[in-house]
Structure 1
Amino acid sequence: MATAKALGADLVEIRLDHLGSFELRRDLHLLLVNRPLPALVTYRPKWEGGEYEGDDAKRFEALLLAIELGADYVDIELKVAQEFVDFLSGRKRDKTRLIVSSHNYHSTPSCEDLSNLVAMIQAAGADIVKIATTAVDITDVVRMFQVMVHCHVPMIGLVMGERGLISRILSSKFGGYLTFATLSEGKESAPGQPTLSSLLDLYHIKQIGSDTKVYGIVGKPVSHSKGPLLHNTAFRSVRFDAVYLPLLVDDLASFLNTYSSPDFAGFSITMPHKETALTNSDEVDPIAKSIGAVNTLIKRASDGKLLGYNTDYTGAISAIEDALNASEANNASASPLAGKVFVIIGAGGAGKALAYGARQKGARVIVANRTYERARELANLVGGQALSLTDLENFNQEEGMILANTTSIGMHPNIHETPLSKKALRSYALVFDAIYNPLVTRLLREAEEVGVTIVTGMEMFLRQAMAQFELFTGLPGNGRVLLSMTAFIREYFEVEEDEPS
């Protein structure tokens, strides 16, 4: 409890059912007298997702003693709430408030069913309504938001699981009474529970209000993304009232239709939704249309239309050009890519962005892909040449070639994988990898070992994110933002403290 207070918690939940051994009178007195924070006491049975397997009489006695010792809240399950209220009959509760809770570990009911559940919990004598459901899809969370924002009594509404994480972070925006966190990873008392430090230091939930705009990274998977770290840092550096979240999305069209309110103002789009985002945009920037992929969606405030952009293109190409200029001491006005052979591994959204950008800069584009037909489609689109990944192993057209990996091969947790052998890398002057977790992939490490200039995915990530920041906020990517992003890179990726270029 003292640790929780030091980290910034306002309240602690004491889960008696998680204690290895528990002596009622001795231990409750020890826990509640002179407690450093207000306390919520819960004694959750196995049948409601907890650890307690005894009879209810012992639980009721423990919760009654918690009330007598001045607990600020006690939590009882809806199934036995009336029985517990009858048990308390005639006993003074003083300032203790009763939370009546319902947990659904399988799904999230309809708005009508949720509203009926709220009414049942109120009728059971609750001071505070608590409903926790499970997200089968991220769109399930909207139903909880809708019920919570219209609830006329204090309500805790949470949707469990990774797809429901946003319910925990945005609780206060939609009128939630409180949200839960754990002190450290691995100590969760419910699926999808974030850590206290992430809620406070990453998402800054105490600053989230009804007017806070919501942005996020849409993909599958997204848990590895460092986008929330970077964009939330940038937002705070300019005091922009917004929060950036990881959004695990299965169906992009369904997600966009469901989260259509102005509160959800823009999204970064990552695998596997970049091409689908193009068809779900109301208007598309000409560059993004040429690439055939969108990595940024902005909701226009005036009419709610979705505008599609691609910042991968400028982020990756500028990073590669700068690295080439530095390695070749090239000060010419023309792009250092002009006339070079530019080999791209992957034919998805990022591959298309690089193919378009390289062609525009005058490079000769080669596309290699596990599925040859997809490589040929992209190569034909940009007037290039197609190869299979097998053929790429022996491809050596000329010295000074550029290699760019846009696939997920080598991404965490599969860090020992690589799309190309170390021997084949000797044919290249520069190797770029769009992956940034890990920062230095096996592909880049082996390229560096044979003397090839490397460009990490962090370079692309930082540059495309700066462009996204400008689209999200309407503010220029000024020095303060650049410094905050540079600080982010140093803190989370342990990059050497060189002067930012």
Structure 2
Amino acid sequence: MGSLSVDTSNLQKGSGFGKSSSNATLVCTPVLGTTVNQMLVDMARAKEIGADLVEIRLDYLTNFNPRFHLQTLIKQCPLPTIVTYRPKWEGGRYEGDENRRQDALSLAMELGADYIDVELQVAHEFNSSIHGKKPDNFKVIVSSHNFHDTPSSEAIANLIARIQSTGADIAKIVTTASDITDCARIFQITVHSQIPTIGIALGERGLLSRLLSPKFGGYLTYGALDADTVSAPGQTTVKDLLELYNFRLIKPDTKVYGIIGKPVGHSKSPLLFNAAFKSVGLNAVYMHFLVDDVEKFFNTYSSPDFASGCSCTIPHKEAALKCMDEVDHIAKKIGAINNIVRRPDGKLIAFNTDYIGAITAIEDGLRALEGAKPAPGSPLSGKLFVVLGAGGAGKSLAYGASQKGARVVVANRTFERAKELANKVGGKSLPLCEVENFHPEEGMVLANTTSVGMKPNMDQTPIPKHALEHYCLVFDAIYTPKDTRLLREAKEAGAAIVYGKEMLIHQGFEQYKNFTGLPAPEELFRQLMEKHA
């Protein structure tokens, strides 16, 4: 598939739909209660947390009396309603008589529902049955669900044409994203469709399709009441949509930033950057990019306002280098990047801010150990600095420490990689398994850049507790969880500790400057990290 080059600067749809001057995309919350009373409670919650409308999923009700229950649900709902009675053959729960199901949907229309969601397979039949009976302002959503993949752009366009031919007021295309670039085909459809369109790619790789609906003219997106009540894979909560991603502020000309990684959902970077963007009124949004193939990602999303800037984390810090047009000289020496900026001409420029963030945090920790009168120069000068891991973060720490005058030792599971990195920085190398018995002197500094101990494997540690007695300071690049087993045991062994969040905060300051040209809101970053630790 070619790159995403949709011009969104003048995005227009009929009847005020998707106007470029404001975000017209609605937020819909599915209510999935098994009883009418639970649905009524959930409807009130949906309004309270900021949803625009609710989807009443009749197929979730265990006992359903169509006339009595629909009247109650529709009349007492504090928000506009979409009524959906999804059959099992389209991913829902209903297994009964088809005529009874369609009769219930017709009844919902008569009783005042604002929308009905009906499946493409039966849409001609259903729309024929209500011909001449549709109330003013009532709309039929005709939907198609693909739980296997995302078809080609041509196939999706043909699907939209079939939906439009049924007399649909709104088209709904749901596919499954096997790669983050699948979302580009959804965006192409929502921008170019002749009728209002809902486009969603399921799964974590499809998150962009939900969050960027306003940028590409989507009619609505879905947000769950909470993380335990999602109605489809990859669905986020209304709270996250509105508060974490500033969904109401996203417009066709909004610049898109994000963090590239695999895994990536644990990253707190969207929390920091979206709050920072909002605080200074920048028309930008920052999100998680679950990327399998970095080159494919940048080739697909190549417009200047998409992937305008990216943070880059495990495992792509080295692979992403090959996709860059220019690489900062320090990042080139390190051989890994974590910060990418796309210039207005589309060229990608890469930096490494990891080494600044981590080394600054470690120096602060060592100075605190020195007391009120720290020695001049870097407190790392002359220290024996042991780096665990020879990946992107390991390279950053090894390079940064050597620049500060430390004697660097690199330990890695694959010894050849440790040796290669150690040679680059004029240090020594060790197999990872030998670190616990390596203590030529006291007062060493340890920096873990491996993923050992990261959530969900929080019971693991890269080095036994008894070996930590020889270190004066231990740093762990992991920040989820904050208190890793390594740091807990280091503290018990008498070492000073530096949390991974300190590296995140310091390198985030540098990334923000590179993204925006503005000084970072340092106090805001710290407040947010403390609040959401």
TM-score norm. by structure 1 comes to 0.96
CA contact (8 A) 1:237 1:484 kept: no
When structure 1 is superposed on structure 2, of 135-144 and 236-245 the one drifting more is 236-245
> Do structure 1's residue 207 and structure 2's residue 249 form an aligned pair?
yes
Aligned pair partner of 2:96 in 20, 33, 54: 54
Aligned pair partner of 1:299 in 310, 324, 342: 342
Q: Following the alignment from structure 1 to structure 2, what is the Cα–Cα distance between the partners of residues 155 and 333? A: 63
Three-state SS of the structure 2 residue aligned to 1:30 is helix
Q: Following the alignment from structure 2 to structure 1, what is the Cα–Cα distance between the partners of residues 378 and 293? A: 39
Aligned pair partner of 2:527 in 483, 487, 498: 487
Structure 2 gap segments, 5+ residues each: 1-42
Partner of 2:58: 16
Q: Following the alignment from structure 2 to structure 1, what is the Cα–Cα distance between the partners of residues 200 and 126? A: 24
Partner of 2:182: 140
Partner of 2:315: 272
Give 1:34 deviation, angstroms. 3.4
Task: Give CA-to-partner distance per residue, 1:167-204, whole Å, 9 cap, x none.
Answer: 00000110000000110112111111111100011011
When structure 1 is superposed on structure 2, of 40-49 and 16-25 the one drifting more is 16-25
Partner of 2:204: 162
Aligned pair partner of 1:71 in 108, 113, 130: 113
Task: Give CA-to-partner distance per residue, 1:292-338, whole Å, 9 cap, x none.
Answer: 0000110011x210000000010000000011011112533311111
Partner of 1:32: 74
> Do structure 1's residue 384 and structure 2's residue 445 form an aligned pair?
no
Q: Following the alignment from structure 2 to structure 1, what is the Cα–Cα distance between the partners of residues 70 and 137? A: 17
Give 1:489 deviation, angstroms. 1.4
Counterpart mapping for 1:337-416 below 5 A:
337-416=380-459
Aligned pair partner of 2:379 in 333, 336, 339: 336
Q: Following the alignment from structure 1 to structure 2, what is the Cα–Cα distance between the partners of residues 34 and 442? A: 51
Partner of 1:104: 146
What letter corresponds to residue 86 of structure 2 in structure 1? R
Q: Following the alignment from structure 1 to structure 2, what is the Cα–Cα distance between the partners of residues 253 and 385? A: 33
Three-state SS of the structure 2 residue aligned to 1:274 is coil
What letter corresponds to residue 461 of structure 1 in structure 2? L
Aligned pair partner of 2:258 in 216, 219, 222: 216
Three-state SS of the structure 1 residue aligned to 2:73 is helix
Q: How many pairs were matched up?
A: 489
Partner of 1:83: 125
Structure 1 gap segments, 5+ residues each: 494-501
Sort the Cα spacing of 1:92 and 1:140 in 2 relative to 1 into closer, same or farther, 3 A. closer
Q: Following the alignment from structure 2 to structure 1, what is the Cα–Cα distance between the partners of residues 387 and 135? A: 69
Aligned pair partner of 1:247 in 289, 293, 298: 289
Q: Following the alignment from structure 1 to structure 2, what is the Cα–Cα distance between the partners of residues 406 and 118? A: 48
Question: Which of the pair has the greater relative contact order for Cα pairs under 8 Å at 6+ separation?
Answer: 2
Three-state SS of the structure 2 residue aligned to 1:125 is coil
Runs of 4 or more off by more than 6 Å in structure 1? none
Q: Following the alignment from structure 1 to structure 2, what is the Cα–Cα distance between the partners of residues 35 and 452? A: 58
* RMSD of equivalent CA atoms: 0.9
Partner of 1:452: 495
Aligned pair partner of 1:185 in 220, 227, 230: 227
Partner of 1:497: none
Q: Following the alignment from structure 2 to structure 1, what is the Cα–Cα distance between the partners of residues 276 and 193? A: 34
Task: Give CA-to-partner distance per residue, 1:38-93, whole Å, 9 cap, x none.
Answer: 00000000000111111211111111111111111001000000011122133233
Counterpart mapping for 1:432-443 below 5 A:
432-443=475-486
